[in-house]
Each structure stands twice: as structure tokens, then as C-alpha cells.
């Protein structure tokens, strides 16, 4: 399973508006990929979670999948139409 597909599957399962979830992938180098997850404004807090617990858990899963594919992944979360985002 590709990292992008894993992220999209998990985030859509968490979101109350799964149709608003979009995952954009940008390959910085063959070993490093940036993923930007865009969700509805109402879902942003749900994806980040209290004190960042949910997003940190997602990053842990993403890291495990990426290591299997011998990649590094940078994950960003943004709300629809929002220029500010959470990066990590």
C-alpha cells in the first residue's frame, strides 16, 4: 500500500465529511515525499486531535508505511480554503 493511499484511507475514516478530504503528494526526492491533507474546517480539529494526539498517531503509522517503502514522509494538515496549516 502506498503511503498516500494509507493516509487518505485513515483520514476519510476519521472525517465527518469524507468527500472533502484531499491528499496531495509532492515528491521532493525519490526518498522524501510531502503529503498535504486538506479537510473541511469542521474536521480539522478532529484530525489533529486533543493536544495533537490523533495527528501524532497518524504520523507514526505513516512513518511505519514509509519505512517499509524506504521513504521519508512529511505530513501537513490544512482546512479547505485555509492557507495556514499544521506541518510535521
Q: What is the pLDDT of residue 81?
A: 66
Q: What is the pLDDT of residue 19?
A: 94
The correct CATH number of 3-87 out of 3.40.50.300, 3.90.1520.10, 3.30.300.20, 3.40.50.11740 is 3.30.300.20
Q: What is the pLDDT of residue 14?
A: 94
What is the enclosing helix (H) or strand (E) of 56?
Answer: helix 53-68
Tell me the domain boundaries of the chain: 3-87
**Confidence class for position 54, pLDDT limits 50, 70, 90:** very high
* Section 55-81 average pLDDT: 87
Q: What is the pLDDT of residue 55?
A: 93
**Confidence class for position 70, pLDDT limits 50, 70, 90:** confident
Amino acid at each position: 500500500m502506498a503511503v498516500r493511499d494509507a493516509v487518505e484511507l485513515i483520514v476519510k475514516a476519521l472525517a465527518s465529511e469524507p468527500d472533502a478530504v484531499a491528499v496531495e503528494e509532492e515528491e521532493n526526492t525519490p526518498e522524501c515525499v510531502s503529503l498535504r491533507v486538506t479537510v473541511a474546517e469542521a474536521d480539522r480539529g478532529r484530525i489533529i486531535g486533543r493536544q495533537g494526539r490523533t495527528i501524532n498517531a497518524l504520523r507514526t503509522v505513516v512513518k511505519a508505511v514509509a519505512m517499509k517503502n524506504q521513504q521519508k514522509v512529511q505530513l501537513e494538515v490544512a482546512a479547505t480554503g485555509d492557507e495556514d496549516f499544521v506541518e510535521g
